[in-house]
Chains A and B, each alone.
Chain A
Amino acid sequence: EAQVTQNPRYLITVTGKKLTVTCSQNMNHEYMSWYRQDPGLGLRQIYYSMNVEVTDKGDVPEGYKVSRKEKRNFPLILESPSPNQTSLYFCASSSPGDRGLLGQETQYFGPGTRLLVL
């Protein structure tokens, strides 16, 4: 089954304690991204990666790090989490393709990770 998995799904932590949220996809997709979703702000891109060893900042990269050592994995690292990083995080993967057709699924999102930083 084609999917994007994230772990953990729920996490409560304390300020300053480093954490990593893992993301893995089994579709051999080149592109992977991280987003955070906050009430009233919608989804905002944190970082994205166009391929292995190629990453770039999104709209809200401060306080986050990523790495793309393997095509299937794109972990999100919070070196020193703060309460303003409490959010719902989504990982996504996709592959460049030609014209999309209705019903053809071209973007895959993980199930989300709810993070609470105390």
Chain B
Amino acid sequence: AQKVTQAQTEISVVEKEDVTLDCVYETRDTTYYLFWYKQPPSGELVFLIRRNSFDEQNEISGRYSWNFQKSTSSFNFTITASQVVDSAVYFCALRVMYSGGGADGLTFGKGTHLIIQP
């Protein structure tokens, strides 16, 4: 069985601070995808990134960056120079891919509520 742990239930920082959201996952499968989603107060789920288990290259997109480390089973998300609009609940998720071409559903962490104070 798969498991995703987001140990930080809530984080509150002041605008312009950098903040890192932790994600630790567990799976016995070797082929999987990792995701981050953002859920703003309006409630919809916004896809942010997908990473393949065979690609540990870190990604940067503007103020967002992701650090994928298989050795520690972590896929952490960093926001630099945070802004009030970054306030949301962020979910990390895992999806196992099967050798026959099928896939499991997404296993989500419980989410981290990020509060950016002006």
Contacts and interface: CB of A to CB of B under 8 A. Distances in A.
Interface string B31-46: 0010101000001110
B104 interface: yes
A68 interface: no
B102 interface: yes
Given A33-B105, A45-B105, A92-B106, A111 B61 contact: no
B101 A96 contact: yes
A106 B45 CA distance: 13
Interface stretch (B11-19, B49-57, B78-86): B49-57
B25 to A, nearest CB: 13
A45 B110 CA distance: 12
Contact of B47 (A31, A35, A45, A105): A105
Contact of A45 (B55, B107, B111): B107
Interface string B86-107: 0000010100010001111111
Nearest to B66: A102
B48 to A, nearest CB: 9
Contacts of B35: 107
A107 B106 contact: yes
Q: Which 8 pairs across A and B sit closest by C-beta, in order of nearness?
A: A42-B110, A100-B50, A48-B105, A43-B108, A109-B45, A45-B105, A33-B105, A42-B108
